[in-house]
């Protein structure tokens, strides 16, 4: 999993990864019982009870945990799913990136 620590790098990832805000698909659900992802904070969190703020296709989520780590996760597999952790960054870095994008 890539650890993103640079504002420009997270902006690039959000664009090239074709991420969308969760509100783009209100039906999106991380209801995968028994499936955990490895978070940037070092712990593993269950998908089913994790909050996510962004989604992508085919099945991708950006989860955010209590420790303010954001982790991009791809769920792969039709019958037996597994998680592929793509990248992680802190929520602070994301907010800085959002600010920069909004400023143009």
**Beta carbons of 102 and 16 less than 8 angstroms apart:** no
**Residue whose CB is less far from Zn ion, 35 or 41:** 41
Q: State in angstroms the smallest separation of the CB of 52 from Zn ion.
A: 12
Task: Decide: is 41 part of the binding site for Zn ion (CB under 5 A).
Answer: yes
8-state DSSP, 48: G
Place of tokens 């791809």: 74
Task: Decide: is 11 part of the binding site for Zn ion (CB under 5 A).
Answer: no
Task: Decide: is 53 part of the binding site for Zn ion (CB under 5 A).
Answer: no
* Part in contact with Zn ion (CB under 5 A); list of ranges 5-13, 33-41, 51-59, 94-102: 33-41
Distance (Å, whole) CA 17 – CA 45: 22
* Part in contact with Zn ion (CB under 5 A); list of ranges 5-13, 51-59, 64-72, 94-102: 64-72
Per the DSSP assignment, residues forming a β-bridge with 51 are: 64
Place of tokens 């991009």: 72
Task: Decide: is 1 part of the binding site for Zn ion (CB under 5 A).
Answer: no
Task: Decide: is 52 part of the binding site for Zn ion (CB under 5 A).
Answer: no
Closest CA to 11 of 103, 98, 74: 98
């Amino acid at each position: 999993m890539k650890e993103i620590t640079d504002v420009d790098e997270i902006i690039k990832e959000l664009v090239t990864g074709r991420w969308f805000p969760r509100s783009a698909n209100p039906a999106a659900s991380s209801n995968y019982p028994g499936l955990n992802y490895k978070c940037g904070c070092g712990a593993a969190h269950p998908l089913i009870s994790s909050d996510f703020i962004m989604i992508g296709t085919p099945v991708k989520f950006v989860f955010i945990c209590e420790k303010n780590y954001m982790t991009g996760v791809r769920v792969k597999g039709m019958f037996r799913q597994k998680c592929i952790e793509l990248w992680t960054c802190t929520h602070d870095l994301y907010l800085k990136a959002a600010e920069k994008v909004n400023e143009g």
